[in-house]
């Protein structure tokens, strides 16, 4: 989220989920919304029923494209070209919001210069989207008052993910679609508490509330608050930590994550982990990381503990204990307190409410939020449950959309960006573009969803989507077992023939342990956030075993044009 903090001064959805239904133009880029965020998709469907226009930019056809006015099916990794070309049109046709640019932003001239060479015609060559469609989209976006941008991992999981965010932010700033309801720039978070984990300071660069570790005033504040000397040197991000596993990194504390299943280029990582001195793992289930762990601490799951999550729209909401954890398992916060005390700390938190109170004490924009206040709001009927930050004092009602009284950063910062091709492009040996993603029925490493029998009925095994024309060249039929290979490794799984992907592109979900997508993916990290390039790399597909009679194999992903399981798509 560093990109948004830098340009606007706050790294979160600028607007609220409930405002989506009132938008008139929705620009969805790199988000398979109906599968990754079904509830947001419902809001979008509502807006569309009321007459809103939806444009989806995605290399792959997804459910949302079936109700979109236009599907911009761009070549993978060419987002910056598309976005800069849209900016080009907006500038060239003088659709900019001059007043907003003058009063509320800085550095516009530089972006104007940069996008001058990004003509729609050249964009057509590189992105594969017609110049007309680019012009049309740019005009619609600029000229519709309630126009919002929605994006997710599709945009940020690139080596140049932060560039994509800047390019989008430029569009928002030049049209002034900010600080008003049903507009803005809205990153949809993949996991329940990504927003919260970042807000709470679980990031190498920031203390809670995006306060920089290398800012002397901030450091002084926390040294006073915690009564210990602190380090002004930003830490390594996860991608960097994983790359120096076994070298600089010699010990790990891992809570609630399966780094082995979720990190890219996992074979390299495993080599490094073998050289690590010591790993403590704290989780509710055994996972792949356990193979390298020395101590495993059994943790409670969300239904067994108290606390809060913060959602994509900055809404802090209560998590409440409903049942007792099994056996001796304990809530993570309790384990953390005990472990810290064993290591010489003197922590005496008696409940999560107290931890929360300590956190907000040093973060002005969270200062008005407390467990107590959340209880009160949830018990009343006047307002929607939870409280959205900024919420500076106890009487503040929370903030539905950001930047209403001017951009939080002071001035919105235009950031010129240039297109850099993806780190790895298809070539003779690896002729296809591989991207990975989520499906509706599973969740990340799927340690939870695959333990749910029903979801396994609907989507029981891994699959790779392959365009019929690419399949034909390789002698692959629907339902066959194939091997997908990249420079880093290979996995075997089912092929499904689908026109959802463009010719030359393949796609697979990342949830399945027996066909780990991240054996294949690239660990080149974004220079700013360290988010790895999960989305694109070069790959090749080879037939392993023909499976005649498997024409109806349907793993539950959305079928383009034809109904699920009805017919073979393709030949």
Tell me which residues in 329-388 interact with other proteins (CB under 8 A): 329-333, 335-340, 342-345, 347, 349, 352, 355-356, 358-359, 378, 381, 384-386
How many residues sit in the footprint of other proteins (CB under 8 A)? Answer: 155
CB 360 within 8 A of CB 308: no
Residue 326 touches ligand SF4, criterion: CB under 6 A: no
> What track of x and - describes contact with other proteins for positions 13 through 52 (by CB under 8 A)?
---xxx---------------x-xxxxx-x--xx--x---
Interatomic CA distance for residues 9 and 154, integer angstroms: 22
Return the exposure string of 422-459: e unless at least 16 CB atoms fall within 10 Å of the residue's CB, then b.
bbbebeeebebbbbbbbbbbbbbbbbebbeeeebeeeb
What stretches of 90-209 adopt beta strand conformation (E)? 105-106, 147-151, 185-187, 206-207
Stretch that binds other proteins, among 139-147, 450-458, 489-497, 513-521 (CB under 8 A): 450-458
> What track of x and - describes contact with ligand SF4 for positions 413 through 442 (by CB under 6 A)?
------------------------------
Residue 458 touches other proteins, criterion: CB under 8 A: yes
Question: What is the enclosing helix (H) or strand (E) of 71?
Answer: strand 70-72
Instruction: Tell whether the torsion through CA atoms of 133, 135, 138 and 139 is positive or negative.
Output: negative
Q: How far is the CB of 472 from other proteins (least distance, A)?
A: 27
Q: How far is the CB of 192 from ligand SF4 (least distance, A)?
A: 6
Interatomic CA distance for residues 130 and 127, integer angstroms: 8
Residue 406 touches ligand SF4, criterion: CB under 6 A: no
Residue 452 touches other proteins, criterion: CB under 8 A: yes
Q: How far is the CB of 38 from ligand SF4 (least distance, A)?
A: 5
CB 530 within 8 A of CB 239: yes
Question: What is the enclosing helix (H) or strand (E) of 252?
Answer: strand 251-255
Stretch that binds other proteins, among 50-58, 136-144, 198-206, 470-478 (CB under 8 A): 198-206
Q: How far is the CB of 2 from other proteins (least distance, A)?
A: 9
**Which residue of 2, 35, 39, 112 would you call a contact of ligand SF4, by CB under 6 A?**
39
Interatomic CA distance for residues 318 and 309, integer angstroms: 7
- Decide whether 38 or 503 has the Cβ nearer to ligand SF4: 38
Q: How many CB atoms are closer than 10 A to CB 204?
A: 15
Q: Strand 211-212 vs strand 206-207: parallel, antiparallel, or unpaired?
A: antiparallel
- Decide whether 88 or 442 has the Cβ nearer to ligand SF4: 442
- Decide whether 38 or 406 has the Cβ nearer to ligand SF4: 38
- Decide whether 33 or 97 has the Cβ nearer to ligand SF4: 33
Stretch that binds other proteins, among 101-109, 188-196, 418-426, 476-484 (CB under 8 A): 188-196
Residue 235 touches ligand SF4, criterion: CB under 6 A: no
Dihedral Cα 256, 261, 263, 266, nearest 10 deg: 140
CB 505 within 8 A of CB 556: no
Residue 564 touches ligand SF4, criterion: CB under 6 A: no
Q: How many CB atoms are closer than 10 A to CB 461?
A: 12
Residue 38 touches ligand SF4, criterion: CB under 6 A: yes
Residue ranges binding ligand SF4 (CB under 6 A): 38-39
């Amino acid at each position: 989220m560093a990109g948004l903090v830098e340009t606007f001064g706050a790294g979160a959805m600028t607007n609220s989920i409930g405002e989506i239904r009132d938008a008139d133009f929705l620009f969805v880029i790199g988000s398979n919304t109906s599968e990754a965020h079904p509830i947001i998709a419902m809001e979008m469907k509502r807006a569309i029923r009321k007459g809103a226009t939806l444009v989806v930019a995605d290399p792959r056809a997804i459910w949302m494209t079936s109700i979109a006015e236009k599907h911009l099916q761009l070549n993978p990794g060419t987002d910056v070209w598309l976005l800069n070309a849209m900016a080009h049109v907006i500038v060239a046709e003088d659709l900019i919001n001059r007043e907003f640019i003058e009063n509320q932003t800085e550095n516009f001239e530089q972006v104007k210069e940069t996008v001058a060479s990004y003509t729609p015609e050249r964009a057509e060559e590189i992105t594969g989207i017609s110049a007309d469609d680019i012009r049309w989209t740019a005009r619609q976006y600029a000229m519709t008052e309630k126009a919002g941008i929605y994006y997710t991992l599709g945009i940020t999981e690139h080596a140049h993910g932060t560039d994509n965010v800047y390019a989008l932010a430029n569009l928002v700033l030049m049209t002034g679609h900010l600080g008003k309801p049903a507009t803005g720039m809205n990153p949809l978070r993949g996991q329940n508490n990504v927003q919260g984990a970042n807000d709470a300071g679980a990031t190498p660069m920031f203390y809670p509330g995006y306060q920089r570790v290398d800012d002397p005033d901030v450091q002084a504040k926390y040294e006073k608050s915690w009564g210990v000397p602190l380090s002004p040197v930003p830490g390594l991000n996860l991608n960097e930590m994983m790359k120096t596993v076994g070298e600089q990194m010699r010990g790990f504390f891992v809570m609630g994550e399966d780094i082995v299943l979720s990190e890219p280029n996992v074979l390299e990582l495993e080599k490094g982990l073998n050289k690590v001195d010591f790993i403590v793992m704290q989780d509710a289930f055994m996972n792949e990381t356990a193979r390298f762990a020395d101590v495993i601490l059994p943790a409670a799951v969300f239904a067994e503990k108290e606390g809060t999550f913060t959602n994509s729209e900055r809404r802090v909401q209560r998590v409440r204990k409903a049942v007792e954890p099994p056996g001796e398992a304990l809530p993570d916060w309790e384990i953390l307190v005990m472990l810290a005390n064993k290591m010489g700390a003197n922590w005496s938190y008696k409940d999560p409410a107290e931890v929360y109170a300590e956190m907000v004490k040093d973060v002005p924009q969270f200062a008005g939020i407390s467990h107590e206040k959340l209880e009160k709001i949830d018990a009343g009927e006047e307002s929607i449950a939870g409280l959205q930050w900024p919420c500076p004092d106890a009487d503040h009602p929370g903030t539905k959309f950001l930047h209403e009284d001017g951009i939080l950063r002071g001035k919105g910062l235009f950031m010129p960006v240039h297109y850099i091709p993806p780190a790895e492009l298809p070539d003779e040996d690896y002729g296809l573009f591989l991207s990975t993603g989520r499906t509706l029925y599973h969740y990340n490493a799927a340690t939870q969803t695959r333990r749910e029998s029903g979801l396994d009925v609907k989507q029981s095994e891994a699959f790779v989507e392959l365009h019929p024309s690419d399949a034909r060249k390789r002698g692959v039929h629907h339902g066959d077992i194939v091997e997908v290979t990249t420079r880093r490794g290979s996995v075997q799984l089912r092929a499904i023939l689908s026109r959802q992907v463009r010719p030359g592109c393949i796609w697979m979900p990342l949830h399945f342990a027996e066909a780990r997508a991240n054996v294949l993916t690239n660990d080149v990290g974004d220079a700013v956030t360290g988010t790895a390039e999960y989305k694109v790399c070069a790959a090749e597909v080879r037939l392993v075993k023909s499976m005649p009679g498997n024409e109806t194999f349907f793993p539950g992903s959305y079928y383009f044009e034809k109904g699920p399981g009805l017919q073979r798509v393709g030949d």
